[in-house]
């Protein structure tokens, strides 16, 4: 498949340029997607189309928005797309993150649909699709266009007629809702989104359940489409789209390397001395400050435990790493305020002279510090109320080269399909949540070791490289199937 010119389309760019007092600084956005795709684009000398989010991005790009990356060792092209403040407000903060994001995560009360936001979403998809088409014309041949996530549901069908020989596929990183929830959208919007996605040759979801939801939505919304559930194929307008589940993973070797660095071990030791001296345990969580992550319910479970079982007070410290997120959206600003107030209230109620129950780190944290947090933890809690995958669970496991640590994992995170050796929890059931946390804290050493061994084996055999290979194999199959269908016609 990599014999085709590769063009990646994503909202986030792999390199961001920002003005600093001493000049222009290059930032490398954290995340598994960049770490997985950057090496492939280097090898294939491909093209990455993305939103220009850095305030110095325009300074270093040409008139079209292109520049060679990586800095210092250029081997592929970054094509930046410029968005106006209105575009960001309507497309990104508006329809993508105030309508689609809560809808797909089943937070229907937070869905905010505005005609102007939908029009901005359409406009932005046309802009990004046009950039992909221009890059396809530049590189020539029949490119493989790999679209990422919910920001670009319309782009595949916009690209398709203008680059007819392209292989187009898309990874949908977040959950896909069932028909009853998807039906909250206006009928015209539903049709446009589904038809846009069906411009792909292959659509990749995190779990089988999300893939089935998508096919069910197509079957109920587009009666002219033929949906084959047993073959996971959808036929519409003389062409076919394959659908599959490809759970994303992490760079396991990199997280293991980070966890073994001398600096990481030193920071880990400091964290243990500060927050878990003597017999006290350390419980950690790592999230964006997002209402889908269940932070408020985690706090309620802690309050329930310390109220009903006061003997638990002082036996563990809760370290919450919650990075700021989308603070321009009112729902996120309210969440941040509520979480900060709840932590302050709980600390005031339960603290002692030598114990602060909850420690909050509310800032962006580098991967090496996260590795130290994971390594220092006795228990890691992932309490998502709905999640496409949740890579924190896998990062924690990869960092536990000592074979210790307990993972408490929400049943509603996609990772729970793979990580059955974790303690699975329903974060909506506060009593049971507190009970499960107690089980984790009291778990004997031999059981911790057995469970972690099973978790590490699972993660080691399903890395980001395995994810990528599985998608490329499926894309090749979809390409051959499309060629066969065309020949039959």
Domain housing 103: 6-248+466-480
Q: What is the mean pLDDT of residues 395-407?
A: 97
pLDDT at 96 over 90: yes
Q: How high is the pLDDT of residue 30?
A: 65
- The C-alpha angle with vertex 206 and arms to 220 and 298, in degrees rounded to 5, equals 105
Same domain for 126 and 32? yes
**Which range in 429-433, 468-472, 476-480 is most confidently predicted, on average pLDDT?**
429-433
Question: How distant is the alpha carbon of residue 259 from its chain centre?
Answer: 22
Is 176 in contact with 217 (CB distance < 8 Å)? Answer: yes
Residues 242 and 337 in one domain: no
* pLDDT of 296 over the 90 cut: yes
Query: In the prediction, which pLDDT does 132 show?
Result: 98
Assess whether 274 and 227 both reside in one domain.
Answer: no
The verdict on residue 488 lying in a domain is no
CA 448 distance to own-chain centroid: 27
66-69 β-sheet, strand order: 66-69, 76-81, 47-51, 6-9, 144-148, 167-171, 202-205, 239-245, 233-236, 226-228
Whether 108 and 146 share a structural domain: yes
pLDDT score, position 405: 97
Same-domain check for residues 284 and 239: no
Q: Report yes or no on 42 lying in a domain.
A: yes
Q: End-to-end CA distance of the chain, in Å?
A: 24
* Residue 471 in domain: yes
The answer to whether 170 and 158 are in contact (CB under 8 A) is no
What is the model's pLDDT at position 487? 43
Do 303 and 232 lie in one domain? The reply is no
Q: What percent of the chain has pLDDT over 70?
A: 98
Residues 381 and 443 in one domain: yes
CATH number for the domain spanning 241: value is 3.40.50.2000
Backbone angles phi, psi at 396, to 5 degrees: -60, -45
Same domain, 275 and 311: yes
Residue 487 in domain: no
Residue-wise pLDDT tens digits, 341-360: 999 999 999 999 999 999 99
Whether 25 and 54 share a structural domain: yes
Interval 141-154: pLDDT, tens: 899 999 999 999 99
HSE of 430, CA atoms in CB hemisphere, 13 A: 14
The answer to whether residues 285 and 232 belong to one domain is no
Q: Please check whether residue 99 lies inside any domain of the structure.
A: yes
Q: Taking the CA of residue 311 as centre, how many other CA atoms within 13 Å lie in the half-sphere pointing to its CB?
A: 1
Residues facing 80 on adjacent strands: 50
309-325 pLDDT, tens digit each: 999 999 999 999 999 99
Q: How many domains does the chain have?
A: 2
List Cα–Cα distances, 5 to 42, 168, 364, in angstroms. Answer: 12, 12, 35
Write the pLDDT tens digit of every residue in 452-461. Answer: 999 999 999 9
Residue 210 CA to residue 414 CA, distance in Å, equals 9
Let me know if residue 489 belongs to a domain: no
- The mean of the pLDDT values for the chain is 95
pLDDT band at 204 (very low <50, low <70, confident <90, very high): very high
Buried b (16+ CB within 10 A) or exposed e, 351-369: eeeebebbbbeeeebeeeb
pLDDT at 1: 52
Residues 345 and 441 occupy one common structural domain: yes
Helix then strand count (H, E) for the chain reads 18, 18
**Within this chain, do residues 180 and 136 fall inside the same structural domain, yes or no?**
yes
Judged against a pLDDT cut of 90, whether residue 134 lies above it is answered with yes
Question: Is residue 486 a part of any domain in this protein?
Answer: no
- pTM for this one? 0.95
């Amino acid at each position: 498949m990599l014999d085709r010119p590769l063009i990646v389309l994503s909202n986030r760019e792999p390199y961001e340029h920002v003005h600093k007092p001493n000049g222009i600084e290059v930032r490398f956005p954290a995340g598994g997607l960049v770490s997985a795709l950057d090496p492939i684009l280097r090898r294939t000398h491909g093209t990455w189309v993305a939103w220009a989010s850095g305030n110095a991005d325009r300074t270093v790009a040409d008139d079209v928005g292109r520049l060679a990356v990586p800095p210092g060792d250029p081997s592929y092209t970054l094509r930046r797309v410029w968005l106006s403040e209105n575009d960001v407000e309507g497309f990104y903060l508006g329809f993508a993150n105030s309508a689609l994001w809560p809808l797909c995560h089943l937070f229907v009360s937070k869905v905010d649909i505005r005609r102007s936001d939908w029009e901005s979403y359409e406009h932005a998809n046309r802009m990004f699709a046009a950039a992909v088409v221009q890059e396809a014309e530049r590189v020539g041949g029949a490119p493989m266009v790999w679209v990422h996530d919910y920001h670009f549901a319309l782009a595949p069908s916009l690209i398709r007629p203008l680059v007819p020989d392209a292989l187009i596929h898309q990874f949908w990183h977040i959950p896909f809702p069932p028909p009853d929830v998807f039906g909250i959208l206006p009928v015209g919007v539903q049709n446009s989104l589904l038809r846009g996605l069906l411009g792909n040759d292959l659509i990749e979801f995190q779990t089988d359940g999300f893939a089935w939801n998508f096919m069910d939505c197509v079957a109920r919304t587009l009666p002219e489409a033929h949906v084959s559930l047993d073959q996971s194929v959808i036929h519409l307008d003389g062409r076919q789209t394959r659908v599959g589940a490809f759970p994303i993973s992490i760079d396991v070797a990199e997280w293991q390397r980070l966890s073994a660095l001398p600096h990481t071990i030193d920071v880990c030791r400091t964290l243990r001395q500060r927050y878990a001296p003597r017999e006290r345990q350390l419980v950690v969580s790592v999230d964006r400050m997002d209402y889908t992550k269940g932070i408020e319910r985690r706090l309620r479970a802690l309050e329930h435990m310390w109220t009903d079982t006061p003997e638990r007070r002082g036996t563990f410290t809760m370290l919450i790493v919650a990075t700021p997120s989308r603070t321009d959206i009112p729902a996120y600003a309210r969440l941040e305020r509520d979480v900060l107030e709840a932590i302050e209230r709980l600390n005031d109620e339960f603290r002692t002279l030598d114990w602060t129950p909850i420690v909050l780190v509310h800032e962006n944290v580098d991967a090496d510090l996260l590795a130290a947090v994971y390594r220092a933890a006795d228990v890691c809690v992932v309490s998502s109320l709905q999640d496409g995958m949740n890579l924190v669970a896998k990062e924690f496991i990869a960092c536990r080269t000592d074979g210790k640590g307990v993972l408490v994992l929400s049943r509603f995170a996609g990772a729970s399909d793979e990580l059955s050796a974790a303690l699975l929890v329903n974060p909506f059931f506060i009593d049971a949540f507190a009970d499960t946390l107690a089980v984790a804290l009291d778990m004997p050493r031999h059981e911790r070791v057995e469970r972690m061994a099973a978790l590490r084996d699972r993660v080691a055999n399903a890395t980001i490289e395995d994810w990528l290979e599985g998608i490329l194999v499926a894309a090749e199959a979809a390409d051959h199937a499309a060629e066969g269908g065309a020949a039959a016609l």
